[in-house]
Amino acid sequence: MRKGVVILLMLFFGAGLLQAESHLMRFADVSHDYIVFTYENDLWLAPITGGKAKRITRSDGREIFAKFSPDGSKIAFTANYDGGNDVYVMNRDGSEPRRLTFHPASDLVIDWYPDGKHILFRSRREWPYRADKLYKISIDGGMPEKVNVDRAGLAALSPDGKKLAYNRISREFRNWKRYEGGMAQDIWVGTMARGDYRPITRFRGTDNFPMWHESGLYFTSDSIDGTMNLYHYDFKTKQFTQLTHYNDYDVKYPSLGPDHIIFQYAESLYLLDLNTRQIKPVPIEMPSDRTLVREFLLEKPENYVYTFALSPKGKRALLNIRGEIVNMPTDEGVTYHLTPNSSDSREKNAIWSPDGQWIAFFSDKTGEEELYLVRPTGGKWKQITKNGFAFRTNPKWSPNSKYIIFHDKFMRLNLVDVATGKITVVDQGEYDDAWYDWGIQTYNWSPDSRWIAYSKLEQSLYPSIFLYNVETGERFRVTDSFTKDWSPSFSPDGKYLYFLSNRTFKPIMGFVDQNHIFLNMTRPYILILKKGDPSPFAPKNDWDDEDADESESRADNVVITTEDFAARIIPAPVKAGNLFRLEAIDDGLLYLKKTENEFLKYQFVDDENRATNLELHRFSLKDQKDETLMEGIGQYHLSADKKRLIYRAGTRFGVVDLGKAKVGDGALNFKDVTLIIDKLDEFKQIFAEAWRIQRDWFYDKNMHGLNWQKVRESYEKFVPLCGTRGDLNYLIGEMIAELNAGHTYVYGGDLEHGKSVRCGLLGADFVMENGFPKIARIVHGDNSSEALSSPFEQPGCPIKVGDYILGIDGLKLKKNANLYQYLQNKAGKVVEILYNNSPTVEGAKTYLVKTLNSEYQLRYDEWVQKNAAYVEAKSKGQIGYVHLPNMMEDGLIQFAKRFYPQYYKKAIIIDARYNGGGFTSKMIHDRLERTINSYVQPREGKPTPVPERTFGGHMALIINRDTGSDGELFSEAWKYRYKDRPIIGQRTWGGAVGIEPHQKLVDGGVTTPPQFGEYNAKGEWIIEGHGVDPTIPVVNWPKDVLAGKDAQLDKTIDVLLKMIKEKPVREFPRPKYPDKSKPAWK
């Protein structure tokens, strides 16, 4: 008996110990006696032998990348205690943390210098901002010094502090395993004083986390089977040795101590003994109260509303709040929580049946999204559909409350018989425009529940209107594929079908080139359902015996003539504009209107739209008048009786009678919404949904050959071990990284945040001399542009290079202080600068300048101007220069500003290095592909080409490892569009499968499925996982970059000059004027 008790006790305590040891511990470091790591966003200290850990930091933000000093007495780490991600140092026990950096850029601790007095960190403070640079800072504070290396991410100092091993590329936080694209990390080694860095690894995949120990280098690599393992490189023998042999989970975040390397494998920490090379786990007990993952009462529930609707008569509001369904009064009454305490499932898209008896919604409680019913006051759910698979959304009740229609990820419009659960596919789309329009998304019921009107995207990439007869199953085309037609809605009397259509073509020419666009194309249109019925706008002739049939309703028996639809479609007399979301009402219709133009043509309005830039309009058939009912909203819905509406304006909601109103009227009060969120249950749901999102939308249904269910199981078991929402994003990232694809992002959610304090910037580089910051260089700007104005270059500013900054706003700088410490909370503000040409306040003067919020645009523009001037000078004016920072608005702006004014050059360089991608590459190619047809010769002056500003010379493209996404599609297209135009530089990133997030995670987080793969005419998938190869490879070596040289740009200039010489640009001489005179008048 006692033996049995002992065994039971051992099992009990053993299980407890194992549970205590299971945590998701990250970013660890090790000293002789201790380990430090991050858990719950805080730093913890534990003996090197394991055991009970002690929390040594606590803040609302996050502390990461802790590193012991060489003697183990101090810890350097990155934290956002005070408003930025900065470098801190403290005693080993967590006492006396001191902030060392204050610049607004994020600073990540990398290593200690061997002297124990300085810390190495990385930051992005200068252009190019896609590249990290290394800095050295004293533990006593002051201004950091830039390390003599052109760009570097992860790094390790040699034992004597004179050499550096590092990764030139920073991508260790990317969700892309087994990556072999242009940004694959290699380890470079060189002497800092000489800058003679060269790579020592040349494996096609990833080699990172260098750790220098004695005469060798430890690092991680996925060179064997795609799993990151530890390796050792011997500088003397140049031999590589594999030290770990995992084939499932990667070795993560290794860090070197005096005698060990500590690393994360799966959820636990392990030690590699440097002498024996033996590996053992570190058993950690974590005495945590787990406050960050405990149940909590949701504050500000209005911030988490996803969909919203009204009861049939508009007396109550129905909201989907953070995955729960809430039925709340519009004025007074009880708030019903219809799906309480269900954080482990997500309920969404709640709608109230027109008869008032049921509320329908989707839930993933079975693991898949199924349709359920529940009574308006709550109670037991009734499952309607079964065996669902994939994303479902936007259900709509039939007016007789017998049917529901919804669409799904397979682009099907589904009809559900509520009584039986039988699903009938109404129709299925075949096209997705790679933005918001895919399949069948807008649809509505006829008032007699016998007809469904819907829009389906067609091969023209315009949606067309169709009708479906519920009784017969017949489909009828209403509009053709030559126009964009959507948002159908039947009139309540059953006589008309209203819809929106882009049929107003009024071209607008741009001011930069001969091109045009079409804006404000949308109007409401009316289909007269029955042949022979007159137009609602037909001329009237009042008479005593007016035919009573004109006003007779057909709501109970809608009659549709199913032929010759086009002849019965008429426009409503409404001014064309940018319109959305049409809904029929008695005697007319409602629609949303956007009055301000936006860059994107892909605009979409749904319940999550938090914008406040839409107007709600009502058009009356009888009066033929269009009036604005509301302004400043983002979305609306009508009650079933069409007497009331609910609106959204940002995170404000209100219910008003149909008529004129303003935002704030009928405001909903969320004070009685009481939602208890179980964080860990919610984490499980979020993880499962993130997995389903990739399963449902990843461009390859075979998931690149992965057993996707096995991948889920491999990471899902760690979800209960998460200490923060950030840990969950990490796990999701690890899971989706297994897909071996770019654009697999996960971000956001209900993350834990620290403070945010904005630091002012001065547009200058500083060096510390005589204990005070001295201006080493002023970033050159352009005072004609507010965005490019450099503070010290303002007209009349006396502050110049060589001056010392001695005080800010009356506060004198302490000796050896960090200048940015005095610019905290001063971003974009006017400050008083105390300055002098010597480091003394005697004779110092003051001057007012306005600080910058960011130096990004200023430093970028200076770099572009410098390159352009260099090209101009070296080519003696023959070659132009254009840089494309991305394929978005900024890229188009740069192209317009620099390409057209240089169209007459003999050659042009298109520089796509550091291009961040987007989607506008095709627009730019449309311009570059133009050829000169002829020339126009005015009576006076010189001839100009036709088409206007068409370039007729030589071109070359520069790319590098930081060219990504649509920048790569631009580069790939360059190859087959311009056979004689070289591409110079390095292989690009290798991510070309496009993304379209379809649904946010329940707490606002996002994971992006790479959904749109591109292949070429040969039937080959392009770019993904490899990148675009240059036709002329050129590397910008670190030593050259440090010396101010740009080998890629130099090579491009040389190539173009040679092309100009060997194949001069063709000139079209003016012909002799014709003689058309008659002989007598010569």
Q: Kindly give, in sequence order, each residue whose CB lies less than 8 Å from that of residue 362, ignoring residues fewer than 6 positions away.
A: 347, 348, 349, 369, 370, 371, 372, 392, 393, 395, 406
CB atoms under 10 Å from CB of 119, counted, come to 27
Rounded CA-CA distance 43/54 in Å is 9
Token pair belonging to 611:
């914008």
- Is residue 403 within 8 A of residue 450, CB to CB? The reply is no
Rounded CA-CA distance 373/711 in Å is 33
- Is residue 1013 within 8 A of residue 739, CB to CB? The reply is no
* CA nearest to 617, candidates 605, 606, 626: 626
Rounded CA-CA distance 498/488 in Å is 6
Q: Kindly give, in sequence order, each residue whose CB lies less than 8 Å from that of residue 539, ignoring residues fewer than 6 positions away.
A: none
Select which of 446, 968, 1024, 1026 is catalytic. 1024
- The backbone torsions φ and ψ at residue 490, rounded to the nearest 5 degrees and listed phi first, read -80, 140
Stretch (H or E) spanning 14:
helix 2-21
Select which of 342, 790, 965, 971 is catalytic. 965
Which residues are registered as beta bridge partners of 456? 440, 464
- Is residue 245 within 8 A of residue 190, CB to CB? The reply is no
Stretch (H or E) spanning 242:
strand 240-242
What dihedral do alpha carbons 302, 305, 307, 310 form, nearest 10°? -20
Burial (0-12, 13-18, 19+ Cβ within 10 Å), 235: middle
- Is residue 196 within 8 A of residue 188, CB to CB? The reply is no
Determine the straight-line distance between the first and last CA of the chain, rounded to whole angstroms. Answer: 134
Token pair belonging to 1031:
């036709």
Token pair belonging to 63:
């502390």
Q: Kindly give, in sequence order, each residue whose CB lies less than 8 Å from that of residue 617, ignoring residues fewer than 6 positions away.
A: 574, 590, 591, 592, 593, 626, 627, 628, 629
Select which of 743, 883, 954, 1026 is catalytic. 743
Burial (0-12, 13-18, 19+ Cβ within 10 Å), 246: middle
**Rg of the chain in Å (alpha carbons):** 33
1024 is catalytic: yes
Q: Which residues carry out catalysis?
A: 743, 965, 1024
